[in-house]
Structure 1
C-alpha cells in the first residue's frame, strides 16, 4: 500500500470511517501547533515542520479482523496515527 494514501478507506478501526480518518491529520496539526505556536520556529531545509517530515508514515501497523489498520491501541480502541519527527534520534517515531 502506498504511504501517501489513507489506509482505512472502507473500514475503520472503531467503526466510524469519517472520525477515524480525521484523527491522524488532527494529531499532525496539534503536534505542529505545540512545537511552533507562533509559526516562526523550526523548519527543515525543505520548509517542512516536524509533523510534515513524517506525514503518511505509521511505523509498525497491525490489522484488525475487519481489515482496518492501526498502530495504537488504548482503552479498547484502535487508532492509525502518523509518526512524528524525533529530533534527538533524527528519524520518524511514535514517541520522543
Structure 2
C-alpha cells in the first residue's frame, strides 16, 4: 500500500492535484470519487477507505484531511502491511489547511 499526502497553503492546488489523479483514472476506465474527509470522523474515514478497497477500488482520493485522520490512515497502513489484498492500493490524502 502506498499513501501520498499533499500539504500546503490555501490555493496551492491540492484539490486540483486530486482532480488530475481522478481524471487520469477516468481515462483508464476507473471511477474514483473524491472522499470529503470532513464528512467523517477519524474512524469513519478508515471505514469508508476499507469499504472502497474491499469493493475493488485501487486508488482512493481523500480531500480535506485533518492531521489526526492522516495519522490514523498511516497507522492503519502499518496494521495491514502483511495483508496482500492491500499491496496495490494507493491512497491520496490532501491535508486541510
Q: TM-score scaled to structure 2, two decimals?
A: 0.29
**Which of the pair is proportionally richer in helix?**
2
Greater RCO, 1 or 2 (C-alpha within 8 Å, sep 6+): 2
Larger Rg: 1
Relative to its length, the structure with more strand (as a share) is: 2
